[in-house]
Amino acid sequence: MLAALVQPALAQGELTADIAAGQEKAYTCLGCHGVEHYVNVYPSYHVPRIAGQHAEYLAAALQAYRAGTRSHQTMQANAGLLSDQDIADISAWLASLANPSP
C-alpha cells in the first residue's frame, strides 16, 4: 500500500539514486535497524531489519514519516531531516543489501 504513496518524482524516475551516497547517509538508520533482535525499550516492540526491502517501499515509508502520516516519533524526527534525494539514496542502498534471515 505504501508504494502507492511514493512521491511522483521518485515514481517517475526523475531522481537518480546514488547507492554510495545512501550508505553514507544511512549511518543513523543502522543504529536500530541494523541490530539483530533489537527491541526498543519504550514502547517495547521489535525493530524491523530493513536490509533488502524494496526501495519503493522504503522511500514511501520515509516520505510518510516525513509527512507525519505514518506514526513513530523517532522515525518522524529522522525522516523530517531528509530531502527527496536523501530518501532515494538511502532507499536504494538499503535495497541493495542482502535480506537477513527473519
| Domain at 63, CATH number | 1.10.760.10
- Indicate whether 81 belongs to any domain: yes
What's the pLDDT at 6? 46
Give the Cα separation of 59 and 82 in Å (integer): 11
Closest to 28 in 3D by CA, of 99, 98, 84, 80: 80
- Domain range spanning residue 53? 17-96
Q: Is residue 6 part of a domain?
A: no
Cβ-based neighbours of 89, under 8 Å, separated by 6 or more: 17, 18, 19, 21, 22, 25
> What is the pTM for the complete model shown?
0.78
Is 102 contained in some domain?
A: no
Please check whether residue 30 lies inside any domain of the structure.
Answer: yes
70, part of any domain? yes
Q: Are 50 and 58 in contact (CB under 8 A)?
A: yes
- pLDDT per residue of the chain (102 residues) written in tens, 0 to 9: 344 444 444 544 578 999 999 999 999 898 888 777 666 666 667 778 899 999 999 999 999 999 999 999 989 999 999 999 999 999 999 999 987 655
Q: Structurally, how many domains does the chain consist of? A: 1
In a domain, residue 89? The reply is: yes
Would residue 62 count as lying in a domain? yes
- List the one residue out of 98, 87, 101, 100 whose CA is nearest residue 21: 87
